[in-house]
């Protein structure tokens, strides 16, 4: 039997469509993968309703798949998972299982598997009386099914103890594995995932240890690219971590990849390279200058080289127009592809996505227990920047250049340099993500969009935090190396950034259900923004004909003059300011500081004596009076909720649902920033007519503050942090 190398559709979640599977078979044939295992957990008649026979329509579809696989030199293996509720001692149950396999056999299938993974190990009393052990019961069913199939040239079995961590108590001492090895027909292959369910490494020693128990070569069910256990992660990294020497000790390797079909090009292409490096075209000269392989990899296969080769082969698929339904498998001609790129370039103003962009994408969505070099660099830099923010001298830096008004210590200069580097890398990633939106392969875009959007959001927040260099709060280590399984910490690279910001578990900051086509960025205020912020008050200028900027000076000016670092800007993907938020950590301290400086200057600027009273409008007069007779701060409110938040936008943006999602992100960012700085409660004051703005506050957790009528004419909302 030749070495089996291919794909296992064995994940939890929505199964692939038939047209996708046919496209898969074509791709497998092209890169040299020869085996496909049909085992989608959510196919009811594969697992939950395994006894039910297929309808005529379902049978025709399955027969079409089997024939298409054979046409593309792919061995189609049909798997059944009866372990959830089968009674091993009941002959009627066995007959139903045989009938199901016979039905598929008549469709042209010659390879089968019985899977007993992820099931309860408690037996029915009658089964325990009949067989004594779980292993003997499973062997009885499997051997009987195999013997009954006369047109069967390959049969597989997945044990309940399918990895080292599931072996009781361990592989060497597992009575279950020993029983399987002794009682299961020697022609039946046994599936194995390695040391863990999702194994970072699979070594020769691990396989030899298993062989001693099962008395045959296992076949690897490899979950290295499986993402069904964490909906926030996806894997585009190369196949790696498997010693080349295991090929001599295993019957084959089947990859159980990402649930999303189109994102699996790199995982499968690099698997094909690992299985047979000489089967694919030789690499370009540009790939030859690579560091030598580590001891666990052969010189014939290096993951970094394989990744670049896969990306080069992937580009034509990225530029092929593929929708989300009814995918038509296509063959690619390099001449046609280059002509297509030239036509596409004429239609697009920006550069097309290229191999470097796709490499960057793969580095950001790498492997379960290993981040790409770009991801590690970003995590390391972000951690250092946040942990060393206190080394920066107090100063106002309103451009990308370090201010020279005050001397900066060497540590401060180093911090600013690395902050600018982080900012530039963030911009590079955003540029790549913008290019993704223009690719013709919409099926791939739709599958990866949420993941990219989530990462972009969290990177934007990290970039904002880096810019706000006054956190003064130590964070935890950015990432851990020794987790028992990848699903212990959710979120992958995005999750690491969330934990770096101490917002672990606060998914309201990055709500996937609110993903929108527009991209919004939260950043800090720059001096050049002042004029743009003042334009938000242009509609009120007719109420202030003598003092056009009076209201803006009164509301915005005091904040950007005294605490510019607490002014936050929300921009769309065209750098238009959608809204902004003004915050204070302690409103009492802020008001005291304002009364001593800014308000004094404001009173001089807006002096009633400059104009006869009859020339002033009512709004001008009342605003000046408020400057001269500012009300007292509500002590009870401000003691319990010392933080203050003022949020400004306009009616046009409030009418846009997508912009409102961005505004929630803005307020959540400010909320978290205040919490990071030790604020335990925050309040805001609104006019009773601002119902839409009030709704946005409500959505992030604010509630109404019960006040006496004489205390304030405004509506007050509060939030405990």
CATH 3.20.20.80 fits 4-288, yes or no: yes
Tens digit of pLDDT for each residue in 495-533? 777 777 665 444 444 444 444 456 677 888 888 888 899
Total Cβ atoms within 10 A of residue 507: 15
pLDDT of residue 516: 43
> Helices (DSSP H) in 392-490: which residue ranges?
410-436, 442-467
pLDDT of residue 639: 86
CA distance 113 to 116: 10
For 346-378, give the DSSP string.
HH-SSPPP-HHHHHHHHHHS-BTTB--HHHHHH
Q: Taking a C-beta distance cutoff of 8 angstroms, is the pair 471, 675 a contact?
A: no
pLDDT of residue 633: 58
Superfamily of domain 524-721, CATH level 4: Gcn5-related N-acetyltransferase (GNAT) (3.40.630.30)
CA distance 52 to 99: 9
Q: Where are the domains of the chain?
A: 4-288, 319-515, 524-721
CA distance 343 to 341: 5
pTM assigned to the model:
0.69
CA atoms within 13 A on the CB side of 187: 13
pLDDT of residue 602: 81
- Closest by Cα among 87, 135, 129, 80 to 105: 80
Q: Which fold has domain 319-515?
A: Methane Monooxygenase Hydroxylase; Chain G, domain 1 (1.20.58)
CA distance 373 to 600: 54
514 to 444, 508, 518, 699: CA distances (angstroms): 20, 10, 11, 12
H helix or E strand, kind and range, residue 154: strand 154-158
pLDDT of residue 72: 97
CA distance 285 to 301: 16
Q: Is 673 helix (H, G, I), strand (E, B) or coil?
A: helix
pLDDT beneath 70, residues of the chain? 278-299, 322-350, 389-411, 467-491, 501-519, 539-542, 573-574, 608-614, 626-635, 707-713
H helix or E strand, kind and range, residue 676: helix 657-676
CA distance 563 to 594: 10
């Amino acid at each position: 039997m030749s070495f089996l190398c291919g794909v296992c559709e064995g994940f939890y979640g929505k199964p692939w469509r038939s047209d996708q599977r046919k496209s898969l078979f074509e791709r497998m044939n092209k890169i040299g993968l020869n085996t496909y295992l049909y085992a989608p957990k959510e196919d009811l008649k594969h697992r939950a309703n395994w006894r039910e026979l297929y309808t005529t329509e379902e049978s025709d579809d399955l027969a079409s798949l089997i024939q298409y696989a054979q046409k593309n030199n792919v061995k189609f293996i049909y798997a059944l998972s009866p372990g959830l509720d089968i009674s091993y001692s009941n002959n009627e149950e066995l007959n139903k299982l045989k009938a199901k396999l016979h039905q598929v056999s008549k469709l042209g299938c010659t390879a089968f598997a019985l899977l007993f993974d992820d099931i309860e190990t408690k037996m029915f009393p009658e089964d325990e009386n009949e067989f004594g052990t779980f292993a003997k019961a499973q062997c009885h069913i499997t051997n009987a099914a195999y013997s009954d199939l006369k047109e069967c040239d390959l049969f597989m079995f997945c044990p309940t103890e399918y990895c080292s961590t599931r072996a009781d108590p361990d592989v060497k001492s597992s009575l279950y594995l020993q029983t399987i090895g002794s009682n299961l027909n020697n022609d039946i292959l046994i599936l194995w995932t390695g040391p863990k369910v999702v194994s970072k490494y699979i070594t020769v020693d691990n396989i030899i240890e298993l062989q001693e128990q099962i008395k045959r070569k296992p076949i690897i069910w490899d979950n290295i690219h499986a993402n069904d256990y964490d909906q926030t992660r996806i894997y585009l990294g190369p196949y790696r971590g498997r010693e080349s020497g295991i090929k001599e000790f295993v019957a084959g390797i089947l990859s159980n990849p990402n649930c999303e079909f189109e994102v699996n090009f790199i995982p499968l292409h690099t698997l094909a390279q690992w299985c047979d490096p000489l089967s694919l075209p030789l690499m370009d000269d540009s790939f030859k200058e690579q560091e030598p392989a580590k001891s666990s990899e052969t010189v014939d296969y290096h993951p970094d080289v394989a990744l670049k080769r896969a990306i080069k082969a992937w580009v034509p698929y990225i530029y092929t127009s593929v929708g989300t339904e009814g995918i038509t498998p296509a063959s690619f001609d390099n001449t046609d592809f280059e002509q297509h790129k030239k036509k596409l370039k004429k239609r697009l103003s920006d550069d097309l996505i290229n191999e470097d962009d796709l490499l960057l994408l793969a580095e950001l969505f790498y492997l379960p227990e290993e981040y790409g070099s770009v991801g590690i660099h970003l995590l390391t830099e972000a951690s250092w920047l946040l942990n060393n923010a206190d080394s920066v001298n107090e100063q106002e830096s309103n451009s990308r250049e370090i201010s020279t008004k005050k001397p900066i210590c060497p540590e401060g200069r180093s911090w600013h340099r690395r902050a600018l580097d982080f900012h530039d890398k963030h911009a590079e990633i955003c540029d790549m993500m913008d290019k993704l939106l223009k690719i013709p392969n919409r099926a791939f875009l739709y599958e990866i969009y949420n993941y990219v959007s989530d990462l972009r959001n969290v990177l934007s927040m990290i970039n904002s935090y880096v810019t706000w260099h006054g956190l003064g709060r130590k964070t935890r280590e950015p990432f851990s190396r020794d987790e028992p399984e990848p699903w212990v910490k959710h979120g992958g690279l995005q999750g690491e950034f969330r934990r770096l910001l101490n917002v672990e578990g606060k998914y309201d900051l990055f709500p996937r259900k609110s993903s929108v086509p527009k991209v919004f960025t939260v950043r800090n205020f720059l001096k050049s923004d002042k004029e743009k912020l003042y334009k938000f008050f242009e509609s009120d200028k007719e109420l202030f004909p003598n003092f056009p900027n009076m209201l803006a000076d009164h509301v915005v000016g005091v904040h950007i003059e005294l605490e510019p670092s607490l002014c936050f800007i929300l921009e769309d993907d065209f750098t238009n300011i959608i809204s902004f938020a003004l915050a204070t950590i302690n409103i009492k301290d802020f008001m005291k500081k304002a009364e001593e400086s800014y308000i004094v200057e404001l009173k001089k600027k807006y002096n009633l004596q400059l104009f006869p009273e009859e020339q002033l409008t009512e709004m001008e007069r009342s605003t000046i009076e408020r400057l001269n007779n500012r009300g007292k701060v509500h002590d009870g409110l401000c003691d319990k909720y010392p933080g203050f938040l003022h949020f400004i936008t306009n009616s046009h943006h409030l009418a846009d649902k997508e912009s409102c999602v961005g505004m929630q992100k803005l307020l959540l960012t400010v909320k978290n920033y205040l919490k990071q700085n030790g604020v335990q409660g925050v309040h805001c004051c609104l006019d009773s007519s601002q119902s839409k703005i009030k709704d946005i506050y409500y959505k992030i957790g604010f509630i109404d503050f019960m006040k006496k009528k004489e205390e304030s004419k405004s509506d007050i909302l509060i939030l405990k942090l």
